[in-house]
Structure 1
Amino acid sequence: MKYFFAIWISLLIFSQNVFSQETITHKVERGETITEIAKKYQVTPYDIYKLNPDAKDKLKPRTVLLIPSKSGLKVVNTGVEITHKVLPKETLFGIEKKYNVSDADLKKVNPFLEKDGLQIGQVLVIPSKNAVKSAEKVIYHDVQPKETKYSIAKQYGITIAELEKKNPEIVSNLPIGYHLLIKGNPVKDKEIVSNNAFTNSPYKNYEIKPKETLYSLSKMTGMTQEELLALNPELKNGVEIGMNIKVPSNTAFSSVSDTKVYDDLTPKTNFSGRKKIALLLPFNISRVQGDTVNSVAARLKKDKFLNMTLDFYAGALMAIDSAKTMGLPIDVSIYDSEETKYGSNVASIVSANNLQTADAVIGPFYQNNAEATARLLAANNVPVISPLSKDAGNPIANLYQTVPSNDVLRAKMFDFMRAKRGNVVAVVDKKKTSVIQYLNQNQKDVRLVPLNANGTVSAEALKAMLLPNVMNYVVMETANTWMIKTTIAAMLSAMPAYQVQLVMLEPNDTLDSDEISFANLVKLKLMYPSVTRDNTSPEGLVFGNKFRKLNSIAPSDYATRGFDVTFDTMMRLMQNKSFEETVNAVATQQFENKFQYYKKEGEGYANEGVYILYYDSDLTVKVAN
């Protein structure tokens, strides 16, 4: 403790030299919280954490904290810059006018303004005119379709008058593709370098295509999302169609999953011969028949795995029946894979039934058994479709994972929020170490809302991290009921002043308890990523009615998945192309599942067909657009 206290004293002495009278100190008393201390000095918890980052972990008695003072203006010893502390009701325009600096210059030396916006208590560096003029860069912008003078001026923080002054040709018209001068002085013609002149550069230009996301660009380029953002800071505001970015010069622009067009595959008719599909499903008939304790009916009541298998089988039979009705030349064989988590009889099935000649194999259910099947059929490149496993699996060229992984679900959720240009903050239980690790490694720009000593969230701490005039997405990951209730209460209290929406990254059973108000979840439009959706379209109702008629029960998620996986596989085999070629070219959407395959690092394919769902005000769950 003495060593810890000595460090704080040293820091205090250093800070007094730099900040003069702009900070004061506070000695923490037992039982005090950051929120109480912030109220005492009329600052925000965020202000205190900025000067005392170690206080986020644990607030110890007798710790000396630095508290920002309320004075608005101070002179730094450099003699070149002054700083300004943002007071309530101040605006960027007012501050820029007060110091006679431009919006661009102020943001250049205070880059956090681009991401966080102007917040009470921020200390801004005010650049001198000499410093900014010498560093001013020339910036151009090519006019895109549907852009206006207003949208372009707003994007770069200038006025329409300033834009027209630098580009007098656009006073009466704004042609698409016009090369606008945004900032700086025009260069001579001989100094202009084409954007594509990367002869000696490790990078080249790439134009964003429809439906591409930060996640898909990361996979295509082989860069992490953080590396892409560092190379292309404009991506922090969202991925937009037509945006030009820099990518590694060795990037191969192949058919990436997010660039695929969703299509309803219709069967081609010019086929010679018939297609052959095999379903390997774990009925485990020998064990059911050998059960001397339970009758078949009793076992059906107990055995969840068998019920899941039979539901999937019932859905697959409906898909096979649909193919027959359409007159498709497909022969389907169904085998009992007799599998457990640790083994199966797929080797004997493959050998005895010559499955090397099959056009596709659906199953088995367990990941290790699906991989064993894929290896047995790899030499003949027979597609093996794993219908239910969520495991990442080993790289096998002919293995196709149909269930999106948890990392894909998370990435799709963050891509959606960034595409909406929202402010993303996270409330994460300290016990959720895997989520914290994921955010630190993959979503470094997402800020964590500081928690109280008892793990709850205060309205003041949350509001200090919200931004005006944008949607504030609050990602909440905890199973603690009280933490959920305080987070919801804090968000509801912020609604009069801010746009807020609650987000979950994975299922949370606690939200289904009676202690959590469903009405509040609706108010906050709870949003989350999902592998499936509820299909309430006329086609979906027809499917449900037909299933009930055949099976005297409503279709479960496994039954619908059995139909979707089987029907999608059959339609892909009816395209006069290989299964792999259709996977590389087309994404599909069946009744409740999407199939948007991408080639994994190494070998094999995985699915990233994900829905973003939310609770709507009419008390239904809808797909977010």
Structure 2
Amino acid sequence: MKLRLLLLFLILVTVSSGSTFGMMSVKTITVTASQKPKFIELKVKRKQTVFSIARQYGITMEELYRHNPSAKKGIQVGQTLRIPVRGNEQPKEPTKPDIQETQGEHEQDQNKTKYFTYKIKPGDTLFDLEKKYDMPSDSLVAINPQLQKGVLPGSLIKIPGSRLPVIISEPEKEKEFIRYTVHSDESVYDIASRFEISINELKNANPELKYRELLKGEELLIPDKSLRKKIFDKSIQDSIWVLPGYKIKHRYQGLPEPCNTNSESKGKTYQVALLLPLFLDANDTINRMSLSNKELLADSAFMNIYKRGASLPKDTFRIRKEKIIDPRSENFMHFYEGVLMAVDSLRKQGKKFELFVFDTERDSMVIRSLIQQDIFREMDLILGPVFPEMQSEISAFSAKNRIPMVSPLSSSGNFEKKNPYYFKVNPDKEYLIRQTASWVADEFFDKNFIVFRIGDYRHLQEAELVNQCREKLFATGYYNKHREVLFHECNFETEGISGIKNILSQKLENVFIIPAVNEGQISVAVTNLNSLAEQTNVRLVGLSGFKGYRSIQPEYFHRTQLQYMTHYFIDYESVPVNRFIAAFKKQFATEPNEFSFQGFDLAYYFMNALHKYGKDMPRCISNFRMELNQLSLNFQRVSKTGGFMNYGLVQVAYEKDFSIKNKGLYGPNNLLPLKSPAEN
């Protein structure tokens, strides 16, 4: 066994600090002599939080942090804090929050109310609410005592207005929108149905609705669908709808304050470990071609050295002219080349990194040997390993030494549950199913929804997709207001295509899901839906694995208008993607593949975050956004003591004109505005 270490880059260039992420408001405060605060010292007691201490002493959390910078990382029992007290003001006794009663969720005035309401959705947890509103759970429960009995779907909770961002929306073209005033007893589903838009379109135009319910009298921007035009597309010999751009500029105020830029980054060179199964030994030998004695004797140049046949060596070989790569390492070579492109981009920005590349093969002994090396304990960031069975010891090492570790490709392993420094890039299937069901309820609540059953699926995870779609669609309340049955399940094996035809709608779009994982079954289902698409309006909702099924003709996905959620998508029509392809081809004389894009995006994102925040990266990364070529990254903690998973998803749609479109972000905490790489 041989451990290979390649020290590839030592970049010593002046640092160019990136711009501060997010929007910051500047306040000027004049303090008179009588207003200058005095301080008392407070020892933190059990169950006290920053929020409860600030409330007790009548100060803001920002004031407490300003005078106690270490509190930003958390407070401990027995820790001493400096508390500003002005004049003869005495600290207040801890009391329950002063709750302003409201007259119902639609009777509030947006400018005057102290609290907004949020309707609990299926799948919400208390930890989800903590993250969504940046509030500790004890504060949420104090305001909403009913949460002590659990987080019950459909119940309303109060959220302090101060926890919601203020978002000012300005259409680029006013004529593309209708300004609508909300009336009593209206829901988002009523409004979306009336104007023939999806919930997602409504919330994208009015992002504040991602945080709260409707308010009576508030004004909403509604994309005007009456402006759409039907044109004939010669490429598909069919008519398609063409819509306006519906572009809106959103100005965000009151978002969570971003972490301060790392002051040490200017003089620091960060050390990054890249762990990949490159199989370098195998690649050293795969291009060797053994030579026989006859071939050696026929080589005049060789025989000038070896005059006698008896002295011919037994291990002589020549190297292939057309070199090949061990197939086990080919994609990881592409990933590695993408990382090199990212490091080169960072170097040109003046940021300093040392990249250490380790060939892990697929051998746990290599990993065990690696973590014994002194140099490995000096790393600031670990990218890899890629296989979950190789991650256990590295994850334990990462947690013990507080070194952030990134799992770049696998959704399994679940080390994020125990290691607070672990980052899972590929979201697990459970999350994808939950978000797909939420998206279905937002997008297709007023459509004819059909479960295309082909085989017993009750033992599959896809059964949960069916259950959650059913639960979330009925939870919208839309079905209760309409007599027509809009949710169906049809067993294709027993009822055949005629059973499907009997529940089709001729006036509504027919939305299908196929709860199966067997490629043959899915292929049969999609083929039949493709035939139905010639007669009626069909849309297929799937999972990202569908596009990998080779037995299904790609045009079937376009005719059935396949849509799915995923964390990666490459738009080959975008300028940054084509710029990357050109640079990659110039550097490596080959086309990049998906692994090349992923290697670049991951390295570029995490190295920028490391340079920006230093050791505070795990604490700050939840608010770090960046536009990338392929990946949608939005890391959130999976629990209070756990690590991170990527919650960033985009909607991918196969269109009838044979294009594949990114329909935009979907998921929690997607309100933060994205910054392009040049702005970070």
TM score, norm. by length of structure 1: 0.56
Aligned 1:246-257 pairs, distance under 5 A: none
Instruction: Tell me how far 1:294 sits from its aligned partner.
Output: 7.1
1:273 aligns with 2:312: no
> 1:350 matched to which residue of 2?
371
Query: Once superposed, what is the RMSD of the aligned Cα atoms?
Result: 4.2
Q: Say if 1:449 and 1:465, in contact at 8 Å, map to a contact too.
A: no
Matched, 1:573 2:622: no
Compared CA separation, residues 551 and 213, structure 1 to 2 (3 A): farther
Q: In the superposition, relative to structure 1, how do residues 231 and 294 fare at CA in structure 2: closer, same or farther (>3 Å)?
A: farther
Q: What CA distance in whole angstroms lies between the structure 1 residues aligned with 2:504 and 2:153?
A: 22
Amino acid at match of 2:279: N
Q: 1:455 offset after TM fit, Å?
A: 6.4
The equivalences for 1:210-229 within 5 A come to: 220-221=128-129, 228-229=152-153
1:303–1:607: structure 2 CA closer, same or farther, 3 Å change rule?
same
| Unpaired stretches in structure 2, ≥5 consecutive residues | 1-101, 131-146, 158-186, 191-198, 204-208, 215-253, 291-318, 474-486, 665-680
Matched, 1:364 2:400: no
Tell me the equivalent position of 2:630: 592
Write 1 or 2 for the structure with the bigger share of helix.
Answer: 1
Equivalent pair of 1:315/1:560 in contact (CA under 8 Å): yes
Note the C-alpha offset of 1:436.
Answer: 4.4
Q: Which amino acid aligns with 1:573?
A: L
Q: Which residue of 2 aligns with 1:502?
A: 540
Identical aligned residues as a percent: 15
Q: Secondary structure at the match of 1:493?
A: coil
In structure 2, relative to structure 1, the CA distance for the partners of 1:551 and 1:393 (3 Å cut) is same
The CA distance in 1 between the partners of 2:330 and 2:631, in whole Å, is 20
User: What corresponds to 1:119 in structure 2?
Assistant: none
Would the aligned equivalents of 1:501 and 1:526 in 2 still touch at CA under 8 Å?
yes
Residues in 1 aligned to 2:264 and 2:273: alpha-carbon distance in whole angstroms: 22
CA gap 1:275/1:473 in 2 versus in 1, 3 angstroms:
same
CA shift, 1:293, in A, is 7.9
Q: 1:561 to 1:426 in 2, by over 3 A?
A: same
Instruction: Indicate which of 567, 582, 587 corresponds to 1:531.
Output: 567
Amino acid at match of 2:661: K
Shift of 1:290: 6.0
After TM superposition, give the deviation of residue 607 of structure 1 in Å: 1.1
Q: 1:438 aligns with which of 460, 464, 479?
A: 464
Post-superposition shift, 1:559?
A: 0.9
- 2:210 aligned partner: 241
- CA deviation after TM superposition for structure 1 residue 381, in Å: 0.7
Deviations 1:265-303 (A, max 9, x none): 999786332222111222232344466987986997573
Question: Counterpart in 1 of 2:662?
Answer: 623
What do residues 34-61 of structure 1 show as CA deviations (whole Å, max 9, x unaligned)? xxxxxxxxxxxxxxxxxxxxxxxxxxxx
Between the aligned partners of 1:207 and 1:231, the Cα distance in structure 2 is 8
- How high is the TM-score relative to the length of structure 2? 0.52
Matched residues in 2 for 1:462 and 1:229: separation? 34
Instruction: Decide which of 403, 414, 427 is 1:382's aligned counterpart.
Output: 403
On the 8 A contact 2:337/2:596 being kept in 1, the answer is yes
Q: Deviations for 1:212-234, whole angstroms, at most 9, x for unmatched residues?
A: 986666761599xx964343697
Displacement of 1:448 after TM fit? 5.0
In structure 1, what is the equivalent of residue 301 of structure 2?
none
Q: Which residue identity lines up with residue 367 of structure 1 in the other structure?
A: P
Deviations 1:603-625 (A, max 9, x none): 22111222211112432111114
Per-residue CA shift, 1:437-488, capped at 9, x if unaligned? 3235544436552124456443x6456375966x543223453344323233
Counterpart residue type for residue 280 of structure 2: I
Superposed displacement of residue 311, structure 1? 0.6
Q: Is the 8 A contact 1:278 1:362 kept in 2?
A: yes
- Tell me the residue number matched to 1:427: 452
SS in 2 for 1:278: strand
Q: Against the structure 1 CA distance between its residues 622 and 591, is the aligned structure 2 distance closer, same or farther, given a 3 Å change threshold?
A: same
Does the Cα contact within 8 Å between 1:587 and 1:596 map onto a contact in 2? yes
Residues 266 and 571 of structure 1 are in contact (CA less than 8 Å); yes or no, is this contact kept in structure 2? no
Q: Which amino acid aligns with 2:624?
A: V
Alpha-carbon deviation of 1:508? 2.8
- Are the counterparts in 1 of residues 287 and 323 from structure 2 also a CA contact under 8 Å? no
Q: Indicate the residue corresponding to 2:155 in structure 1.
A: 231
Equivalent position SS for 1:332? strand
Task: Specify whether residues 213 and 400 from structure 1 end up closer, same or farther in structure 2 by C-alpha distance, changes over 3 A only.
Answer: farther
Which residue of structure 1 aligns with residue 46 of structure 2? none
Residues 160-309 of structure 1 mapped to structure 2, 5 A cutoff: 207=118, 220-221=128-129, 228-231=152-155, 240-244=209-213, 271-289=266-284, 301=324, 303-309=326-332
Q: From the superposition, tell whether residues 216 and 230 of structure 1 become closer, same or farther in structure 2 (CA, over 3 Å).
A: closer
| Deviation of 1:530 (Å) | 2.4
| CA drift at 1:529 | 1.9
Q: Which amino acid aligns with 2:436?
A: M
- What are the Cα deviations for residues 26-82 of structure 1, in whole angstroms up to 9, with x where unaligned? xxxxxxxxxxxxxxxxxxxxxxxxxxxxxxxxxxxxxxxxxxxxxxxxxxxxxxxxx
Once residues 589 and 353 of structure 1 are traced to their aligned partners in structure 2, the CA distance between those partners, rounded to angstroms, is: 36
Q: Does the C-alpha gap of structure 1 residues 291 and 616 become closer, same or farther in structure 2, counting only changes over 3 Å?
A: closer
Alignment CA distance shift 1:345-1:537 (3 Å): same
The CA deviation at 1:178 is 9.2
CA distance in 2 between counterparts of 1:299 and 1:337 reads 26
* SS of 1:409 mapped into structure 2: helix
Q: Could you tell me how far apart the structure 1 residues matched to 2:127 and 2:321 are?
A: 49
What are the Cα deviations for residues 198-223 of structure 1, in whole angstroms up to 9, with x where unaligned? Answer: xxxxxxx7548xxx986666761599
Q: Paired residue for 2:134?
A: none
Distance 1:261 1:527 in 2: 33
User: Aligned equivalents of 1:176 and 1:280: distance in 2?
Assistant: 52
Q: Is the 8 A contact 1:215 1:412 kept in 2?
A: no
- Choose the corresponding residue for 1:483, options 501, 504, 525: 525
Answering whether residue 354 of structure 2 is matched by residue 331 of structure 1, we say: yes
What secondary structure does 1:622 align onto?
strand
8 Å contact from structure 1 (residues 613, 621) kept in 2:
yes
**For residue 558 of structure 2, what is the amino acid of its counterpart?**
V
* Residues 542, 564 of structure 2: 8 Å contact kept: yes
* Deviation at residue 331 of structure 1 after TM alignment: 1.9
Mean alpha-carbon deviation: is it higher for 284-293 or for 539-548?
284-293
Q: Does 1:401 align with 2:424?
A: yes
Aligned residues: 406
1:454-473 paired onto structure 2 within 5 Å = 454=494, 456-458=496-498, 461=500, 464=503, 472-473=510-511
Gaps of 5+ in 1: 1-137, 145-174, 180-194, 197-204, 246-258
Q: Is the 8 A contact 1:366 1:389 kept in 2?
A: yes
CA drift of 1:310 comes to 0.7
- CA deviations on 1:363-400 (whole Å, 9 max, x unpaired) are 11111322311212322210011111221423322211
2:617 partner amino acid:
F
Q: Trace 1:410-421 onto structure 2 (pairs within 5 A).
A: 410-421=433-444
Matched residue SS, 2:512: strand
Structure 1 pair 386/596, CA: closer, same or farther in 2 (3 Å)? same
Query: Structure 2: which amino acid aligns with 1:531?
Result: H
* Larger displacement relative to structure 2 (310-319 or 354-363): 354-363
Superposed CA deviations along residues 472-507 of structure 1, whole A, max 9, x for unmatched, are 432234533443232333454333xxxx42211242
Q: Secondary structure at the match of 1:624?
A: strand
Question: What amino acid is aligned across from residue 418 of structure 1 in structure 2?
Answer: A
Aligned to 1:111: none
C-alpha distance in 1, partners of 2:450/2:126? Answer: 22
CA contact (8 A) 2:444 2:511 kept: no
